[in-house]
Amino acid sequence: MTSILIVGAGAVGALFGSALARHGALVSVVCRSDFDIVQREGYDIVSPSLGNHRFRPHAVHRDVSECKAPPDYLVLTVKVLPGADRAELIRPAVGPKTVIVLIENGVDIEAEIAASFPGNEILSGLAIVGVGRTAAGKIHHQSMGSLNLGRYPSGNSPAADRLAAAFEAGGIGCKVIDNVVTARWQKAVWNATFNSISIMGGVLDTATILGTQESRAFVRAAMEEVCATAAAAGHPQHPKLIDQYIAGTLSIPAYKTSMALDYENGRPMEIEAILGNTVRAARKHGVVTPILDALYALAKMIEAKSSARQ
Amino acid sequence: MTSILIVGAGAVGALFGSALARHGALVSVVCRSDFDIVQREGYDIVSPSLGNHRFRPHAVHRDVSECKAPPDYLVLTVKVLPGADRAELIRPAVGPKTVIVLIENGVDIEAEIAASFPGNEILSGLAIVGVGRTAAGKIHHQSMGSLNLGRYPSGNSPAADRLAAAFEAGGIGCKVIDNVVTARWQKAVWNATFNSISIMGGVLDTATILGTQESRAFVRAAMEEVCATAAAAGHPQHPKLIDQYIAGTLSIPAYKTSMALDYENGRPMEIEAILGNTVRAARKHGVVTPILDALYALAKMIEAKSSARQ
């Protein structure tokens, strides 16, 4: 029976873990903040597509070191934050055959893990899901709920296919893609732009960000810098991507990005994974990105203020 | 006896008016929001350098049209905001010999007035003063208290000298300068940068804005764009100006810019006068200013959100 360990089982980890557990995978979790209630009662999940249900993991750990045997898949769903050594976090549970699955935000977030575990297969996943934690152990699945998954740095694998099948069987659409890094860059075109802008003016929603012709021109110019960086990094994007993103964002009700919500709630923001790594890739490849540089400088000031406030 | 009309007698106007009234000038005011109490009781001014005193204007008007005769000097101390036609505001009180004095923020704020009153002498003034309105009719003079004054578009004049002498006699240091537009650009190097950045992240104080080496490099790069614009507009700045501004700002306790305070208090912000006019001057003179453009786009988003909130 396939064993899966979810490390950092917050909202995304719990929801995806519950889906994987539906058809027999042994899903254990490492969760620190809600450990007591999750160990006692499992997760209380409200979901329109998976149904309201209780997810009782096979085992609940407070720390990765408590895991008795390396899992077949170790799924990492923690935030990517400076100072958090994700490789050291998962090392105690990674066996020689463990497939490491990164379901996280940002670009260039795999290299550090790949370098630390050169013998292990790495899968990289992009979650498309609206899900939040409403209280300790309580997960509210609001919208969407799918995953794009691929082998890092590129290609496909039987392990990816098997995991995708388990997700699909559990009710989470999972597409295996050949170039997951290109897909990460695609997502970064939206994320690096909207997330960064959204924390200005404490905070701006998508409708305000796209509120005028001038503001849309600015968003477009910022997105063009991400596209130029992606292309220089070997991951050119579709010429219509920016149009599609702007039209798509305008077509749905105003909302706040994950970074805006983190800012409002005083939680750490993934500025480095989403924007900092984009800016560093631009510098590495000699791409001039004055708008992203400005957003990055401003975001770091806001982060410094936000940290000081806590 | 010299007659002076202060239009928009808020904190700066009341303080400066009280100084001008000290040695016999007939100082009248137009003040809308605090009209009742000012007409009844005058201004209650707390000032370390001028002393705590009550300033009873010669006449208090609710509207410029109530003025019976054109003054020798009409001193305009209103905010420069889009949609507020300052020329039409003052027109009823401007006689053929009235000297119009603009004590306001921003760059390129004189041209509109000069075009509307081609036969009148225009003086442009830069206030260096920390003063606020603490309640209706109550003015608190906190720090500094001086003025640089010059004829627009350049040069000096007997009218400027006389007004400066009246300010000096009343306790407000007033320097007559030959190129007031260059001085406006000098001030814009600080203002366009710090004011704009300060409204990000709702809001950032000067210490946060200059908190790291990277943030200081960003501020410097933004200031360099203002300097390049000023030079292209014919007003080159001293090569050490940016160093002096950064060192000077670091040397005093953290504070919030006027725009940050306006933002926090839901008041209109002088984005156009301070930053918008700078960006437009850059475009006019073919100067590339990606950081200022980004700050301007972000500031306009924040303004749109802020206006919607009211």
Contact B201 A204 (CB under 8 A): no
The residue type found at A44 is: D
pLDDT bin (cut points 50, 70, 90) of residue A24 is confident
Q: What is the pLDDT of residue A309?
A: 64
Q: Would the CB atoms of A199 and B201 count as touching at under 8 Å? A: yes
Task: Determine the Cα–Cα distance for residues A199 and B165; give it in Å rounded to an integer.
Answer: 49
Q: In 3D, which of B247, B106, B108, B271 has the Cα closest to residue B187?
A: B106
Cβ pairs A/B, distance under 8 A: 89
Return mean pLDDT, chain A.
Answer: 96
pLDDT of residue B74: 98
B310 has pLDDT over 60: no
Rounded Cα distance between B44 and B42, Å, is 7
Sort out which chain A residues have CB atoms less than 8 A from B214's CB and list them. Answer: 297, 300
- CB contact under 8 Å between B200 and A201, yes or no, is yes
B16 pLDDT exceeds 90?
Answer: yes
Structure confidence at residue A9 as a pLDDT band (50, 70, 90):
confident
User: Hey, CA dihedral for B208, B214, B216, B222, is it positive or negative?
Assistant: negative
Q: Is A294 within 8 Å of B290 when comparing Cβ atoms?
A: yes
What are the tokens at A244? 């599609």
Token pair for A298: 């401003």
The two structure tokens encoding residue B106: 């921003």
Q: A229: distance to nearest CA of chain B, Å?
A: 17
Cβ contact B208–A294 (<8 Å): no
Report chain B residues whose CB lies below 8 A from the CB of A308: 208
| E-state strands within A51-202 | 53-55, 60-61, 73-76, 99-103, 122-135, 138-151, 173-176
Q: Which residue of A has its CA nearest to B303?
A: A201
Nearest to B87 by CA among B59, B42, B118: B118
- Residues of chain A positioned with their CB less than 8 A from the CB of B203: 202
Spell out a b/e string for A69-96, using b for 16 or more CB atoms within 10 Å of the CB, else e: ebbbbbbbbbbbeeeeebeebbeebbee
Tell me which chain B residues have a C-beta less than 8 angstroms from the C-beta of A204. Answer: 301-302, 305
pLDDT score of A95? 97
∠ Cα B277 B283 B286 (to 5°): 140
Number of Cβ within a 10 Å radius of residue B128 = 14
Neighbours of B123 (CB within 10 A): 24
- Domain B182-309: which topology? N-(1-d-carboxylethyl)-l-norvaline Dehydrogenase; domain 2 (1.10.1040)
Distance between A198 CA and the closest CA of chain B, angstroms: 9
- Contact at CB, B200 and A301, closer than 8 angstroms: yes
CB contact under 8 A, A301 and B215: yes
β A53-55/B3-7 pair status: unpaired
Cβ distance of B200 and A306 shorter than 8 Å? no
Q: For A273-285, how does the pLDDT look when each residue is reduced to its tens digit (9 = 90+)?
A: 999 999 999 999 9
Instruction: Find the CB nearest B209 among A290, A294, A301.
Output: A301
Residue B134 has pLDDT above 80, yes or no: yes
Whether B226 contacts B192, CB under 8 Å: yes
Determine whether the interchain pair A300/B200 forms a contact, defined as Cβ–Cβ distance below 8 Å: no
Question: What is the rounded average pLDDT of the residues B32-36?
Answer: 92
Q: Cα–Cα distance between B268 and B154 in angstroms, integer?
A: 30
**Averaged over B176-180, what is the pLDDT?**
97
Cβ of A298 within 8 Å of Cβ of B214? The answer is no
Are the Cβ atoms of A218 and B297 closer than 8 angstroms? yes
Residue contact A294–B291, C-beta within 8 A: yes
Residue among B208, B306, B308 whose CB faces A304 most closely: B208
This model of the complex carries an ipTM of: 0.90
pLDDT of residue A166: 96
Q: How many angstroms separate the CA atoms of B295 and A70, rounded?
A: 50
- When CB atoms are compared, the residue of A202, A204, A300 closest to B215 is A300
Select from B201, B295, B305 the Cβ nearest to the Cβ of A305.
B201
- Select from B287, B289, B301 the residue whose CB has the most chain A CBs within 10 Å, as the one to mutate to test that interface: B301
Between chains, do A211 and B301 touch, taking CB under 8 Å as contact?
Answer: yes
% pLDDT > 70, chain A:
99
Residue of A nearest to B205 (CA): A305
Alpha helices in chain B (DSSP H): 11-21, 35-41, 86-90, 111-116, 158-169, 180-198, 206-209, 213-232, 241-251, 258-264, 271, 277-284, 290-309
To the nearest whole angstrom, how far is the Cα of A215 from the nearest Cα of chain B? 6
H helix runs in A62-153, sequence order: 86-90, 111-116
Nearest CA to B285 out of B231, B244, B210 is that of: B231
Domain with residues A3-178, CATH architecture: 3-Layer(aba) Sandwich (3.40)
* pLDDT tens-digit map of A263-273: 999 999 999 99
User: Looking at CA atoms only, how far is residue B250 from chain A in angstroms?
Assistant: 15
* pLDDT surpasses 90 at A179: yes
Burial of residue B280 (CB within 10 Å: 0-12, 13-18, 19+) is: middle
* Both tokens assigned to A39: 């160990």
Evaluate if pTM is beyond 0.80: yes
**Residue extents of the structural domains in chain B:** 3-178, 182-309
